[in-house]
Structures are given as C-alpha cells and as structure tokens.
Structure 1
Amino acid sequence: MSNHHHDEEFRLNTPEFEQLNKKLERREFLTKTAMGLGAIAVGSLFGKSLFGKSGTAMAGSAGDTEQDILRAIPHFAPKAKRVVYLFMSGGPSQFELFDYKPKLATMAGQNLPDSVRKGQRLTGMSANQSSLPVVPSFFKFNQHGQSQTWMSELMPHTAQVVDDLCIVKSVFSEQINHDPAITFFQTGNQLPGRPSIGSWLSYGLGSDNNNLPTFIVLVSKNGQKDQPLYSRLWGNGFLPSKFQGVQFGSGKDPVLFLNNPEGYDGNDRKEMLDYLSKLNKLQNGAYGDPEVDARIAQYEMAYRMQTSVPEVMSTANEPNEAFEMYGPDSRDPGTYAANCLLARKLLEKDVKFLQLYHQGWDQHSSLPKGIAQQCKATDQATAALIKDLKQRGLLEDTLVIWGGEFGRTVYSQGKLTANDYGRDHHPRCFTMWMAGAGVKPGITYGETDDFSYNIVKDPVHVHDFHATLLHLMGIDHERLTYKFQGRRFRLTDVEGKVVKNILT
C-alpha cells in the first residue's frame, strides 16, 4: 500500500497513463475536428468559410447558448427560494374536499344532462355505462377562517390554515388517464422523456446547499399503491444527469449506494475519488462529453452527502411537540407525516425543490371509505407543515403546492348505492392549492358549474401552473430553454401564461 504515498506527478506518468494518453490523443484528433475526418473533407470542398478564425470547425451556434441562458437567471426578483410539492397521486375528488356543490343534493341518481357533458370524452371504464347517475358528496361542508372558505369535514386540520391557502378550483388538463396525466404534470408533456419540474429548476437556478441535492423526492410508504410511480417522473430527461431528482428512502440507507461497503473504513475515500476524478477529466478532455462532468459532480456530491444525509435524516433531536403537531405517524419513518417533517428539515437546509408523492387517491369504487382513509393519513401533517414553516419564518419564501393529476366525475362509476359510490377520472376541472411565497393567502380562484364538470371562470391549464411556478422562482418560462436534437425545449412547451391574479 506504499503506492498511496507516491506523489501526483508519478501517478500521471505511469506506463498505464501514458498508454491511455496515446489512445486518447488519437481519438482527440478525430473528435475535436468537429465531425472527424468527414469535416476535413467537407472543408476542402467549401473552403475557409466553414471555419472560424482559429481554423477549427464552428459548432453551429444559433442564438443564445445554455451558458447565456443560465447567466441571465433569475430574470427578475424571485418571491420563492424553494418549493415543496405535495403530489396526491391518483386524482383526489374535488367534490369531497374543496368544491362544494349543494345543489347536487336535489339531483342524486338523475342522469348527467347532455347539455353539461357536451360530448366530452369518457374513459373506457365508464363509456359503456347505460347511465351516468349524479352523486352528491356524502360529507358535510362548513365555512372556515376569516375568508369563510368552504371546506370538507374530511380536512379539519387543513381548515385551520385555510386563510394561508390560495385554492384554485379551475385547473384543467387534456389527459384523462393516469400515466399521461401525471407525466404531463411533472414534465409538461404527456409522453415520457422530458425533464421534470425539479430538474428544470435545478438546471436554471443551481443549488443553495452544496452538501445536498438540489432536487429531492420522498415517496410515502403508507399510500395505497393503486397507481405506479416511475423514477422518470423526477428524471432529468435530455438535461445532463446531474439535474435529476434524488429519491430519499426511509431505511438504513436513505440514499442507495451512498454508504461505504462493510469492512471498509473509508480513510482513503477522498484520495480514491481524487484519483478517479483525474481519470474522468482526462476522458472529458478528449471527448468533451457533458455527462463526464456530471459524473464527476455526482461522485463529489456523494462524498459530501455521506456526512450531510445522516444528520438531516435523523429526527432524534425533534421535540415531542413537533411529533404531536405532525401526528402519530410522524414517528414512523417513510410515512407521509414523517416525510412532511423531514421536508421541513430539508427546506431549512435550502434544498431548492422537494417533491412528496402520496399514492392512493384513485377511488373508482368505495370512495367514501377510501378518501376518508387518505385524508386521515395526510390532513394533519399537511397542515402541520404549513404551520411549522410559518412559525419558523420560512413560509414567506417557500412555495407549498398540493394537488393531483386530475379530478373526479360528478357521476358515479358503476352501481350507486345508499352509502357507496365511486367516481371516474375528470380532467376538465379540478382543485389544487398553493401557499406561501408570492401567492395571495385566503383566496379562492376560478369557478366551476353546478356539476363541477366545466369551468365557468378563470381557467388554469397545467402549462399556466408551470409558468406561474417558474415566475415565482424568478424565471420567465419562455426564456428557460434547452437545445436538444435541433430544437429549443422548455417546461411549458409553446404555451402557458402566468396567473397574475393569484400573485401578491
């Protein structure tokens, strides 16, 4: 093991390195002449006009480079420094939670009028039903707070913070099935392969904490796994891999493969990483592949996370009052309540974008029982996170978002009984809420018709939601772009407008 004490000069002049350098020099000649020997042949045909002043082939710059784009961000003073997005996977019913429709009580069991449906698309699960019986919510609503906002009895804790919420009842999407709908919400496109919201923010804004990832994901272990979640939902798409979300778990190893293997004391870990970094930089100098830079950054981040993650993941020093506020589940790592408490700790460390996923909201049958269970698992902790951030002075520059991929239908899917019913997917209008940095507190925005089937005032498309989120972070959504396969892409594609009437 005496080789560990040899100096850097010796290391980089070993026969192995010399052989590697010779191979790379030959490859470098081919790769750094733009398109290799083919570029030289083309150059001989077109003359010097193809080449720049230095005599090397130009890369074909068109408009701003990615570096120019990033230097311009933020485009204006941001209202929010960080975001926590509580994603309720499966599609929570707006009827049972936020969108109070008392007139439906007189129409229970009647068929949904054609004048309301207007020929809109149905899923394959209810398209063949002989009738579409209207079903009012079985749960009571009451007005809460100074805003006198109507809230369901299923959310007594959220009702306590209703004056901090900006409830948007007029969100809509074109996607009627889970996978394209949730993919659309997370990436701005129904097809897989685009960067997620957190990846765009990580790319545009960078990190405020060098010891933790910019974009972290937590998935509840106590959510019913009715619809699958895929890691591509927090993936980097065509952005460099260093911008992907990092999922934290609740077990012995919160981040997979982060800890040293058994039997290894780690004393020479930094030395090994430095040596590996030199190899990677040698390769990067030959190929200019941005993924090599990403890999170097990931190794360095992993080394720093070995000390930072155990500290931030531990709740041993949290007072009993914190666990009581977030609820009994908060003592059980991996539950939604525990993840909300952990989210507050990560936000205190200036993690830029946190996404909490909680599955189980896809209630096609037995909805009253199912949604009551979901609210019991999430309501207290959600409200506690708002209260906790507020009392610590973090809510004023933290944006909190709550919502799913679509809403539910006014009609019952399948048989309607006296105490049981289900609701199908409905993307044409549903409810989300935001709280904290830059959004007006204690307001309700947008209106739906008496059947919560169509929007009658202030529609908010998913692209509008994304544009508004980026705006709050100081980003003009039309200017945050990335060139891929000859086209400049953005989170909002070619659409989206900022919903200015909900902003402070």
Structure 2
Amino acid sequence: MEDHHHKKEFRLPSPDFNELHQKLDRREFLTKTSMGIGALALGYLLGNKLFAGSSQGTVSSATGDMEQEILKALPHFAPKAKRVVYLFMSGGPSQFETFDYKPKLVNMLGKNLPDSVRKGQRLTGMSANQSSLPIAPSIYNFNQYGQSQTWVSELLPHTAKVVDDLCIVKSMYSEAINHDPAITFFQTGNQQPGRPSIGSWINYGLGTDNQNLPTFIVLVSKNATKDQPLYARLWGNGFLPSKFQGVQFGSGKDPVLFLNNPTSYDGKDRQEMLGYLEKLNTLQNSSYNDPEVEARIAQYEMAYRMQTSVPEVMSTANEPDEVFDLYGPDSRDPGTYAANCLLARKLLEKEVKFVQLYHQGWDQHGNLPKGIAEQCKATDRATAALIIDLKRRGLLEDTLVIWGGEFGRTVYSQGKLTATDYGRDHHPRCFTMWMAGAGVKPGITFGETDDFSYNIVKDPVHVHDFQATLLHLLGIDHERLIYKSQGRRFRLTDVAGKVVHPILT
C-alpha cells in the first residue's frame, strides 16, 4: 500500500519547467528580438557612439545604474531624524478651534466675509451658491500655555501641556480644495494618484534599520468617523518597486493579513515551502530579469520573519498600568487612536523608520462645535502622551513627530449659523500643522495669517516645502532623491519645494 504520508522529494528544475523557459511565445520573441535589432540599428545610425566609452568612463543608460548611484550618495548629510511618526488628521481640522486664535472675530458674528479678504478665491461647490458668507467666530476659549506662551484651544488641554515641545506652523497652504486630491497631494506630492507616498520614498532612499519589520507601517483608527475614505494608494509605492510600499497593520486577530500559517501547517513546512518558492522565483528572475520578482522574493522573506516579530511588537501585555493611564483608557482597546499611538511608540523603539497614523472624521461642514469637540477628545490625550513617552525614553531627540490634515477650514459658516452652531467649508489657502522632535525648534510658532485666517501674511509654507523639510531632517536633499519612470525623472517634491530653515535647529 502506498504511504500517503510519505513526502516525495521535490526536484527543481523539472524537465517540463526547463522546456517552458526554452519556448518563446510570439509576444516575447518580438519583444526580445526587436529590442536587440533596434539597438543595433540605432548604434549603426549613431556611428556606434551609443556604445562607445567617454573620457570619464563608460556611459550607461540603464536606469538601474542611475538608481544605484543615487542611493549610494544617501544620506546626503548627517540626519537629525532617524525615524518619523506622522499623525494624519484626515478631513481637514479647523485651525479656528485648535491653534489659530482670532479674537477680533467675536464682534463680527454673522457679518459677510469682505470681498477684500476673499479676493475672488475659489469656493467649493458646497459654498459657491450661498447668498452670503457669514463669519463664524469660534465658541471655544483660548489660553496661553508654557514658557512660549502659545495660544491653544480649550479643546486640547493635553496638547497644551506639551506646547513647549512643538513647532506650530500656522502658514501652511495647499493647491487642492477637495479631499481626495488634497490628501493625495500631501501624501505623494501630486494631486493625481499613481505617485509613490512619502513613506515609500523614504523606504526607497534610506532602507531599513530593522530586518524583521517593514520600514514603512500604517495604522488606521477604528474609532473614527469614516466621513472621507482612505485608499491604500495613499501609502502605496506608485512606480517604485512594490517592496517599498507601506504595510497596514490591523487591530484584529491577524494584524497583517495572510501572515500567519494556515491551520495544521507548522513552521517547518512553511520554511520548506518558501525555500522551494525562492528557487522558482530566482530561476524566473534569471530568465526575465524583472525587478518585481526580486521584490516578491524579499517580501516572502520579510513575511517569514514577521511571523515572529509582529506578535511581539503588537503585544502590550508587558506595558505597565502607568503607560495606559498616560495614553488614556482607549489605549487598552487595539485599533483605537490611543492604542495606535502606543503601538507607534513600540514600533519606533524597534527602529521602524516611518510610521503613519490616519484618523478620519475632521470634515465638519455642519454641527462643527460638537463634531470637533468629539474629535479632539478622541485624539488629544494620546497625541500628547506620545510626545511625553518618546521624550522620557530619549527617542524624541531623533524622532520627528508630525500632526496635521490636508487643508484647513473657512472663517465663514457653511449653511446654518447661530451663536452656538455652525459649520466650516474646506480652505486650502492657510491652515495649521505642527512638528516636534528631531531637528525642529521647540516652543515656537511660525507664520502668520490675517484676522480672518483666510490669507497668509507672513512666512508661507507650501506642501512641497513641508515635504522638502521632512526629507532634509532625514539627511536627504529632496532635489537629489530621484527615480526614473517612463522616461522622466520624478521626485517627491516634483519641480518645487524649499527647506524651511527658520524652524530647524
């Protein structure tokens, strides 16, 4: 009787596999031969100069060679930041209810926004048909905090306690007035999808400091209003090889999908299967020289290592009660914003280079006072706790922390306006973000807006300027981190951007 439990030896390559690779279909034949014949013809027309050496050595047009030269030069100078945690408040937090204090508006309730302030700037379709644009002062109080005496809203009492660690930029501006292009612009440097995200650019340029975890990890709050969708392309690799894309960690039993072994499938079987799979992929790569095959090999190897590293880093069993008290009660519930902030600290301790948290729900077109109060309550304590926790562990000095959304809100109310209830539309021309930690001046406010927080009057900071500054803190010259795709050289900041040196130490 045949022993069905006996494992048959797997031999590679088999005759059938060799035969498969020896055959060329019509498309492959035309592709390979046309490239060879075309190159010879072009060389003849150019008098063989295409293949000739120059006085400075052999000239190579291979994209891979250019990339290697670019990567060899990194970092371009000593970095201030070794890692980044980016707290992205999706939806556009109102600067009026958080950091941009405008006391003169109190006496202007209901008055129409002057044309001299608006200056004909574009409105969204949600406000364009309003008969008037009535001014809506914030109903929330502001006070000055810290040695810096920085104005902070009463909605952010915990953030107010760490304000001397923050660099608050009030003069951010963008080009996109709607959510999807605005978020895409912030995350990829272009309003159209298809470009690599910030984390992917950093992964491509600097690589990893932890071989057992991804370089770029994404966490999305489960306890947030899903008013505006998030797409995986926001942390995607675009035209970069797929190994540079962000990896989303979830909050369920399997934080990374398809990572754990199937039932009744032990680690030895998994390792043996991956060994055979690597041989197949290596053979395929030698035949087709496709960089995505190498990326897939690396991903399989990373997945195998993550089977051990992910459960360890996701566990908070060894965290003392004092840590949970610092981040707040939600930190005991995996997947909440507070729990994700705590997890971000653990990932940063493991030398994960770029951690991105997304928290949706900041798009308050109506009933703003109630909505933004709930948003601040869900995020304020844990945000401040992350700053405190990183600082006391000695990590803040070389970790860059970023907080902000894709644009700000209008001074006028969209729809109903009363003394206690109002909404605000999208406003890309000026809004507030903050940064803290590595290489950023603490306890300062940079940039100024007018009395209506409608226009910037001092030190404007464009989205590309922000991106250039972020890369600069990591030791990267944003004009030199380039990737060639479809005949064009691309970079995160496109053809713009300048480093905001006044906010740097």
Distance 1:266 1:73, change over 3 A: same
Q: Give the stretch that moved more between structures: 271-280 or 479-488.
A: 271-280
Query: Is 2:96 the partner of 1:95?
Result: yes
Q: Give the stretch that moved more between structures: 256-265 or 341-350.
A: 256-265
Counterpart in the other structure of 2:22 = 22
* Deviations, residues 92-124 of structure 1 (Å, cap 9, x unaligned): 000000000001111111111111111111101
Whole-Å separation in 2 of the counterparts to 1:325 and 1:3: 54
Whole-Å separation in 2 of the counterparts to 1:448 and 1:398: 29
- Conserved 8 A contact 2:146-2:161: yes
- Conserved 8 A contact 1:29-1:36: no
Q: Secondary structure of 1:212's partner?
A: coil
Distance 1:426 1:67, change over 3 A: same
* Deviations, residues 75-107 of structure 1 (Å, cap 9, x unaligned): 000000000000000000000000000011111
Q: Give the stretch that moved more between structures: 289-298 or 44-53.
A: 44-53
- Conserved 8 A contact 2:411-2:453: yes
Counterpart in the other structure of 1:470 = 471
Whole-Å separation in 2 of the counterparts to 1:156 and 1:4: 66
Q: Secondary structure of 1:268's partner?
A: helix
Counterpart in the other structure of 2:269 = 268
- The amino acid of 2:175's aligned partner reads E
Q: Secondary structure of 2:268's partner?
A: coil
- Conserved 8 A contact 1:33-1:40: no
Query: Is 2:85 the partner of 1:106?
Result: no
How many Å apart are 1:317 and its aligned residue? 1.1
Counterpart in the other structure of 1:406 = 407
Distance 1:4 1:498, change over 3 A: farther
Pairwise CA RMSD: 2.2
* Deviations, residues 390-447 of structure 1 (Å, cap 9, x unaligned): 0000000000000000000000111211311000000000000000000000000000
Counterpart in the other structure of 1:223 = 224
How many Å apart are 1:13 and its aligned residue? 5.0
Counterpart in the other structure of 2:421 = 420
Distance 1:67 1:4, change over 3 A: farther
Q: Secondary structure of 2:96's partner?
A: helix
- The amino acid of 2:248's aligned partner reads Q
How many Å apart are 1:26 and its aligned residue? 11
Q: Give the stretch that moved more between structures: 160-169 or 314-323.
A: 314-323
How many Å apart are 1:14 and its aligned residue? 3.2
Distance 1:207 1:227, change over 3 A: same
Whole-Å separation in 1 of the counterparts to 2:444 and 2:244: 34
Q: Write out aligned runs for 1:269-284 (5 A).
A: 269-284=270-285
* Deviations, residues 236-285 of structure 1 (Å, cap 9, x unaligned): 00000000000000001100111111221232211211111111111111
- The amino acid of 1:391's aligned partner reads R
Q: Secondary structure of 1:65's partner?
A: helix
- Conserved 8 A contact 1:390-1:396: yes
Question: How does the TM-score come out when normalised to structure 1?
Answer: 0.94
Whole-Å separation in 1 of the counterparts to 2:441 and 2:97: 24
How many Å apart are 1:17 and its aligned residue? 3.8
Query: Is 2:173 the partner of 1:181?
Result: no
Counterpart in the other structure of 1:301 = 302
Whole-Å separation in 1 of the counterparts to 2:42 and 2:359: 56
- Conserved 8 A contact 2:112-2:133: yes
Counterpart in the other structure of 2:433 = 432
Q: Write out aligned runs for 1:18-417 (5 A).
A: 18-23=18-23, 35-40=35-40, 48-51=48-51, 60-61=61-62, 65-417=66-418
- The amino acid of 1:19's aligned partner reads E
Whole-Å separation in 2 of the counterparts to 1:46 and 1:451: 63
How many Å apart are 1:38 and its aligned residue? 4.3
- Conserved 8 A contact 2:21-2:287: no
- Conserved 8 A contact 1:202-1:214: yes
Counterpart in the other structure of 2:494 = 493
Give the unaligned 5+ runs of structure 1: none
* Deviations, residues 329-369 of structure 1 (Å, cap 9, x unaligned): 00111000000000000000000100000000000000000
* Deviations, residues 279-322 of structure 1 (Å, cap 9, x unaligned): 11111111111111111100100010011101101111111111
Counterpart in the other structure of 1:12 = 12
Counterpart in the other structure of 2:480 = 479
How many Å apart are 1:42 and its aligned residue? 5.3
How many Å apart are 1:23 and its aligned residue? 3.4
Distance 1:183 1:62, change over 3 A: closer
How many Å apart are 1:380 and its aligned residue? 0.2
- Conserved 8 A contact 2:109-2:419: no
- Conserved 8 A contact 1:413-1:424: yes
Give the unaligned 5+ runs of structure 2: 54-58
- The amino acid of 1:499's aligned partner reads V
- The amino acid of 2:81's aligned partner reads A
Whole-Å separation in 2 of the counterparts to 1:272 and 1:37: 41
Q: Give the stretch that moved more between structures: 210-219 or 16-25.
A: 16-25
Whole-Å separation in 1 of the counterparts to 2:384 and 2:127: 35
Whole-Å separation in 1 of the counterparts to 2:337 and 2:8: 47
Query: Is 2:448 the partner of 1:447?
Result: yes
